[in-house]
Chains A and B, each alone.
Chain A
Amino acid sequence: MNWLWLSPAEVAAVWSGLAAAALWLYLHHRRPVRRKVSTLRFWASVQAASQPRRRKLREPWALLAQIIFLLLLILALAHPRWGVTFEGRSVVIVFDTSIWSQARPVGESPWIDQERAEAQRLVDSLPSADRILLIPAVTDAPAMLPFTSDRAALRRAIALAQPSSSVADLPRAFEMAKGALAGSRRALLVYVGPGMVDEQQAQRLAEFREVMETPENSGQPQFLVRLVGGEAPVRNTGITRLSVRRDAAQPDRWHLLTQLKNYADAQANLILKVSVSGQSLGEKKLSLRAGELANAQNEFIWSKGGLLQAEISSSDALDSDNRAIINLPAFRMIRVAVFAGNSPFANDLLTVLSSNPYLQTQIVPPGMNMDVPSDVAIYQGTSLPAQSALNSIWFVGGPASASSRPLRVTGWSSQHPVTRWVRTRDISVRNPATLDVRPGDTVLASTEGNPPMPLILAREQDGHRILIIGFDPHNSNFPLESAFPLLMAGGMEWMTQSVDETADSLSTGELNLPGPATRIVAPSGKEVSFARKGGEVHLLATETGIYRVISPSGETNVAVNTPLLPAQRLKATPPEAARVEREPLQRAGWDLWRWLVILGIVALWLEWWLYYSSRERQRTAQIQETHLDSDDSLEDGLQDAELERQEQSESRNPNLVT
């Protein structure tokens, strides 16, 4: 007999427990129901229940039948077999669908096809009772097929497996596979793929192999590696990163950084072409040494937004990393409104702001301030508003005093974007305002003294950014210093974030994107499932191209490219390259559970028959006894024949009146 799920000791324990429960139920005397009645006189003739002094079994044969039924039921649940039982193995196939599976070296078939053929061979070589789990080698990807012994489904899943554009993490995939095999007495873990790993993965893989080969861990699954592709290094160059930055002085000038990698062991010559929305922006010849990771820098003029594509013309084994794309943001002038009329203050500001090519400055006369559309507003006054509807800069002077002495401005904050370029100690101010520093405010500059008095504050309020300068520029030498335009430029950049605009491409794999999203569509048009984590969304990007992130506020595009690929080839050790261990030739056992269920039903029927027939016999005997008694007394009571007839008629009509 072979116990699939329960050991004989466990069966015995379960059966003993249930038998004890059945015995208790047989011995248990149910508590009688309490009831109030109008009179007991008619109950006097009804048999009184005899309270047994000690508990004893009334129907021992029925109890025996029930215990036998329980035993048969538990045995059936244990799924015993008669004869030698063949127990299949648990097998996990780690099928590498990473970007390297797209490779097609010269003279070879695509690696994904080789992987499919190898996996099919493996499946065919395994006995039909083996349960196989098919998982990809890509991080966090779901299983391709859960544990099954359905060979047709496995072949179909292998044939339909498509390469992704993400990078494999083989040690992690092996650990997952090992976890899935935990608890299996006989297990097999097979990797099928090109076996490309980076240095970190190689190190973790070595540790994994060490654990698998430790003699103490004899219960470990057999680990096999089936590599595809030749042993020669793959000839491939690819773009690993794309980054653009807008020029600080010229808004339509862009600086492009392209990172390239030569994965081959020979020098590679290639041409890098850059285009935006299909319009070529130039090309560059490059030469990369064996294994070199190089950066190529370009500059180009482009005022509109669009999709920038960098492409290398190289006939190599892997096409998908030969191009990369990135979104170029469109440029828009920042509108600045100066609410100061034609004062000297306004003219000074206009002089400073008009030299900034990112800004479009407008002097607004008093009285028109609410109707002027602007991105940043600059005000001069003596008090601050409670609320501000715009990003704004406030020049707030203190009360004029003839006796006030000039105060030197020190303590510039070098961490804040507004004042990071300002270092001067030559600025002095008169009649500064006393600024109220609220929680969340950042003091950007303060006067000398003990304690220092805050002079410039950065505040974020109601979704707007406010820069508060606590002195009148004309009561200082600030407008004459070079720090003034730097401060204004820094303030504009902090508020609008348009001057120092950069864009970096994202890589396939796990992505965290900012903002809420309702749908994310992959470049292939498929919807991508994602998780929300606070204000971010987390997704697994397995394709390269443009992902559409759809949110309640609109749609944004995110460019995803191939990352730096692992370049080391895994080498299978002799035990890993060995054949699958043969299963001993065994014949299947004979299932016993059906017979046990039938016997159990018979035992259950027997128990019922023994129990109820016995009770029925007892009851019949009691009734016969009481009928004899009642007939005697009735004869005494019903002597009058006429009244007897009336009784009969009364039974038809209980509300009879005489």
Chain B
Amino acid sequence: MAMTSPLLLDREFLKTLEQVTLLCRNNLAGAVGPEHRSRTRGPGMEFADYRRYTFGDDPRSLDWSAYLRLGKLFLKIYETEQHIPVRILLDRSESMDCEAADESKFLYAQRLAATFAYLALLHLDTAAVVPFASRLHKPLVVSGGRERLWPVLQFLSEQSCGGGTNLFAAVKEFMGNFTSRGIVIVISDFFDEQGSEKAVEILRSAGHDFVLVQVHSMEEQRPSACGEMILEDVETGAQRTVECSPQSAAVYERRFLEFSARLRRLALRNGGRYARAVTNIAYQEFVLRSLRSGQVLA
């Protein structure tokens, strides 16, 4: 696929992704179509079993050679291949564009979103990229194969950060817009003052197979600055004067890891999956190693 994206997804990486599949944990009922294997029988390409013909069955599925041999009408049954919609909720709040110490969190998140969308398109699924901050922004829904990646990349590159984070409100709005079940990937730093618990519970109750991808920088995990500082929250504008030292940074890191652990627990207890991406690790490595080993990709 000869493509130069604004998000710099390199060609080698895209080629590698062709051997990767997005795993679906739940048995999701979706539109019949190719690619995804499921336990549901129905129209498809792969033979599964025979059964006796009953009135009303589609005569095109009759096995005429069995009728000639046995004199009875049998119907061929195929495995149903499903369309599983993949919805990518991308956090574009102000906090995603903070910290200039290393690579931008938002760019990292954009690349992950593009990767997930490409994986969906590879398997002829429908991909929806849904940006959110304090509310849901206009989404992009694409389908029709890998050639449709370019609009996704264009759409992602047009996104810019702004506003506070309200995951609960965004997910609630998302439920109203996207009623069918599918894979929901939330890419965010989850620095939401209201917490993420309610949003995750809504996703679980709606039967979505969801993945929480927490993106943060190493500076956010372990601050390097020392001395007296006036810190300002980019989303709320709240300020706090602190005395930074190696010791206080250790306390801070402990709190941060505690937060990540709580988020993971929340995901797992609600039947979802969790991944933590630190921006100083190459996103290709994160996708191909961490997401694969975490059963998000196969």
By a CB distance below 8 angstroms, the chain A residues around B278 are: 654-655
| 20 A/B residue pairs, CB under 8 Å, sorted by A | A30-B227, A32-B227, A33-B229, A34-B232, A36-B232, A38-B98, A38-B99, A38-B189, A38-B191, A40-B233, A41-B259, A42-B259, A45-B255, A47-B243, A619-B247, A622-B247, A630-B251, A643-B261, A655-B289, A658-B267
Q: When chains A and B are docked, how far (Å) is the Cα of A44 from the Cα of B231?
A: 11
**How far apart are the CA atoms of A48 and B252 in the complex, in Å?**
12
List of A residues within 8 angstroms of B227 by Cβ: 30, 32-33
A657-B290 contact in complex given A30-B228, A42-B255, A46-B251, C-beta closer than 8 Å: yes
A652 to chain B, nearest CB (A): 13
Stretch at the interface among B31-39, B40-48, B50-58, B234-242: B234-242
Minimal beta-carbon separation of B10 from chain A (angstroms): 19
Binds B, one of A497-505, A600-608, A633-641: A633-641
In angstroms, Cα B238 to Cα A41, docked, is 11
By the criterion CB–CB under 8 Å, are B264 and A47 in contact?
Answer: no
Cβ B290 vs Cβ A33 within 8 A: no
Q: Is A386 an interface residue (CB 8 A)?
A: no
Task: List chain B residues, Cβ under 8 A from A626.
Answer: 247-248, 251
Q: Is the CB of A33 within 8 A of B275?
A: no
Q: How distant is the Cα of A630 from the Cα of B289 in the complex, in angstroms?
A: 33
**A157 interface contact, C-beta 8 A:** no
Bound form: Cα–Cα A45–B225 in Å: 16
The smallest beta-carbon distance between B83 and chain A, in angstroms, is 25
Q: How far is the CB of B288 from chain A (nearest CB, A)?
A: 11
- CB contacts (< 8 Å) of B116 on chain A: these are none
Between A and B, how many residue pairs show CB distances below 8 Å?
A: 160
Highest count of chain A CB atoms <10 Å: which of B99, B243, B278: B243
Specify which of B229, B245, B267 is in contact with A619 (CB 8 Å cutoff): B245
Tell me, yes or no, whether A28 is within 8 Å of chain B by CB: no
Is A232 at the interface (CB under 8 A from chain B)? no
Report chain B residues within 8 Å CB of A47. Answer: 242-243, 248
The complex places the Cα of A49 from the Cα of B239 at a distance, in Å, of 12
- The answer on a CB contact under 8 Å between A43 and B261 is no
Is the CB of A627 closer than 8 A to any CB of chain B? yes
A634 B258 Cβ-Cβ under 8 A: yes
Structural contact, B252 and A35, CB atoms closer than 8 A:
no
Contacts A44-B240, A46-B251 aside, 10 further interface pairs with beta carbons under 8 A come to: A32-B230, A33-B229, A38-B235, A40-B236, A42-B259, A46-B242, A47-B242, A655-B281, A657-B275, A658-B274
Cα-based distance from A321 to B293 in the complex (angstroms): 109
The answer on a CB contact under 8 Å between A640 and B265 is yes
How many B residues, CB 8 Å from partner? Answer: 62
Contacts of A622 in B (CB 8 A): 243, 247-248
Say yes or no: is A401 at the interface (Cβ < 8 Å to chain B): no
A48 touches B257 (CB 8 A): no
A33-B229, A640-B265, A658-B274 known; A40 vs B238 contact (CB < 8 Å) = yes
Partner of B262, one of A33, A34, A623, A637: A637
Which residues of chain A have C-beta atoms less than 8 A from B232's C-beta? 34-37
| B296 and A46 contact, CB distance less than 8 A | no
B220 within 8 A of A: yes
- Closest Cβ of chain B to A614, distance in Å, is 15
Q: Which residue, of B99, B227, B265, has the highest number of chain A Cβ atoms within 10 A?
A: B265
Closest Cβ neighbor of A624 among chain B residues: B247
A638 touches B261 (CB 8 A): yes
- B273 located at the interface, meaning its Cβ lies under 8 Å from any Cβ of chain A in the complex: yes
Q: Which of A35, A646, A647 contacts B231 (CB 8 A)?
A: A35
Let me know if B191 and A39 touch, CB within 8 A.
yes
Which residues of chain A have C-beta atoms less than 8 A from B243's C-beta? 46-49, 622
List, in ascending order, chain B residues with CB within 8 A of A44's CB.
Answer: 240, 255
CA distance A638 to B264 in the complex (A): 12
Quick check: A36 and B98 within 8 Å, CB to CB?
yes
**Residues of B with C-beta under 8 A to A33:** 225, 227-230
The contact string, 1 if C-beta is below 8 Å from chain A, for chain B 160-175, is 0000000000000000
Name the CB-closest residue of A to B247.
A623
Whether B251 contacts A45 by the Cβ 8 Å rule is: yes
Chain A residue numbers with a CB within 8 Å of B230 are 32-35
Give the residue of A36, A40, A658 whose beta carbon is less than 8 angstroms from that of B294.
A658
| Distance to closest chain A CB from B171 (angstroms) | 19
CB distance from B67 to the nearest CB of A (A): 52
Cα A49 to Cα B254 in complex, Å, equals: 20
Q: How far is the CB of B191 from chain A (nearest CB, A)?
A: 4
B252 touches A46 (CB 8 A): yes
Contacts of A634 in B (CB 8 A): 254, 258
What separation, in Å, do the CA atoms of A647 and B260 have in the docked complex? 9
| Given A48-B242, A657-B274: A37 and B233 interface contact (C-beta under 8 Å) | yes
Chain B positions 89 through 123: 1 when the CB is less than 8 Å from some CB of chain A, otherwise 0: 00000011011000001000000000000000000
Closest to B253 in A: A42
| Identity of the chain A residue whose Cβ is nearest the Cβ of B190 in the assembled complex | A39
Instruction: Please name the 5 residue pairs, one residue from A and one from B, whose CB atoms are nearest each other, closest first.
Output: A657-B294, A38-B95, A32-B228, A39-B191, A657-B275
Is residue A426 contacting chain B, with contact meaning CB distance below 8 A?
A: no
Chain A nearest CB from B208 CB (Å) reads 18
A218 close to B (CB within 8 Å): no
- A152-B99 Cα distance, complex, nearest whole Å: 71
Judged by a CB distance under 8 angstroms, whether A651 is at the interface is yes
Min distance, Cβ A342 to any Cβ of chain B, angstroms: 94
**Distance between A617 CB and nearest chain B CB, rounded to angstroms:** 13
CB closest residue in chain B, given A39 = B191
B155 within 8 A of A: no
Query: Could you mark each residue 34-69 of chain A with 1 if its beta carbon is under 8 Å from any beta carbon of chain B, else 0?
Result: 111111111111111101000000000000000000
A653 to chain B, nearest CB (A): 8
A:324-346 near B, CB below 8 Å: none
- Residues of chain B within 8 A (CB-CB) of A656 are 275-276, 290, 294
The reply to whether B275 and A655 contact each other, CB–CB distance below 8 Å, is yes
Do B254 and A630 touch across chains, with their CB atoms under 8 A apart?
yes
Among candidates A48, A619, A658, residue contacting B264 with C-beta atoms closer than 8 Å: A658
CA distance A45 to B281 in the complex (A): 28
Tell me if B199 is interfacial: C-beta within 8 Å of chain A: no
Among candidates A34, A38, A654, residue contacting B234 with C-beta atoms closer than 8 Å: A38
A448 at the interface (CB under 8 A from B): no
Within 8 Å of chain B (Cβ to Cβ): is A555? Answer: no
A654 CA to B289 CA, complexed, in Å: 12
> With A38-B99, A40-B240, A48-B240 in contact, do A658 and B268 touch (Cβ < 8 Å)?
yes
CB distance from A432 to the nearest CB of B (A): 91
A656 to B248 Cα, complex, angstroms: 25
CB distance from A42 to the nearest CB of B (A): 4
Instruction: Collect the chain B residues with CB atoms within 8 Å of residue A653's CB.
Output: 290
In the assembled complex, the Cα of A451 lies from the Cα of B264 at a distance in Å of 116
